[in-house]
Structure 1
């Protein structure tokens, strides 16, 4: 566990619930120490089943946003079938990584910078060596994918 990353318990729960609700998703918090349903990686990582993102207080915020991103990029009718793993392609995975950064930017007290820092601390790896370098110089395909799917504006803001 990387202690320095921002955890769900460190932000206002209502903020993340409101963000997820905007996309037709819900957040379910499970008890501390309990297994997180639908978690691909286990431990404290967020999980997804259907339209629900599961987490604990010690779940990293970036993990919640990443798993929510997997559901957000799917058409709503496909979400119901999701359990634990939702990625169909590298393009979709890149789009999810980009989207989690953008969504962090709309969460009060979080921000894009914090999400990128936490992604680096957690061990995400990108060709250019850091999440920030990837986001600023190598993620145009991810941004374009999100724009084409109606999830970002041309200016790169969430819809």
Structure 2
């Protein structure tokens, strides 16, 4: 599984900053604040994503995308669990695949493979099948809120 140490803190922090988020590095072996799934998974508190070098990139992107899809007033109240609805969860999953293409050395193919290996589950059996054939509602949700990256 691709981890933060593999892509570099600066690349991830830069991507998050473009969306008004801050990436807080956590020391190796230390607890990750706001982690819903527990270490080494990323955590969220307010507009901050917390991660260690061993945090999987898919987790970092997923938690960041949960914050991106929230309006700023709701984002400020987040601690550990950012999802309010299935639509927001789907939008976060869809957006994380798109943002993987922005990170050097990641890309959607690698991210989708890591999502499947971690255990994300979709009706069609894989992240790729969901993204390509069953995620129109997530795409539309993001489009209606102006959250799709250019060219998506």
Query: Given the two structures, how large is their TM-score scaled by the length of structure 1?
Result: 0.93
Q: Which moved more, 1:71-80 or 1:135-144?
A: 71-80
Corresponding residue of 1:32: 28
- Give 1:15 shift: 1.0
Counterpart pick for 1:76 among 48, 72, 92:
72
Retained in 1: the 8 A contact 2:22–2:49? yes
Offset of residue 153 of structure 1: 5.5
Instruction: Specify which of 105, 119, 133 is matched with residue 123 of structure 1.
Output: 119
Match of 1:134 in 2: 130
Q: Does 1:88 align with 2:70?
A: no
Do the aligned residues in 2 keep the contact of 1:147 with 1:154 (CA within 8 Å)? no
What is the root-mean-square deviation of aligned Cα atoms in Å? 1.1
Provide the C-alpha distance between the structure 2 equivalents of 1:15 and 1:108, rounded to a whole number of angstroms: 8
Aligned to 1:50: 46
* Deviation digits for residues 10-68 of structure 1 (CA, Å, limit 9, x no counterpart): 01221111100001101011111111000001120000001100000000000000000
Tell me the equivalent position of 1:18. Answer: 14
Q: Deviations over 1:105-147 (max 9, x none)?
A: 1111110111100000000011111100000000000011000
| Conserved 8 A contact 2:42-2:60 | yes
Among residues 95, 98, 101, which one is paired with 1:105 in the alignment?
Answer: 101
Q: Which runs of 4+ in 1 moved over 6 A?
A: none
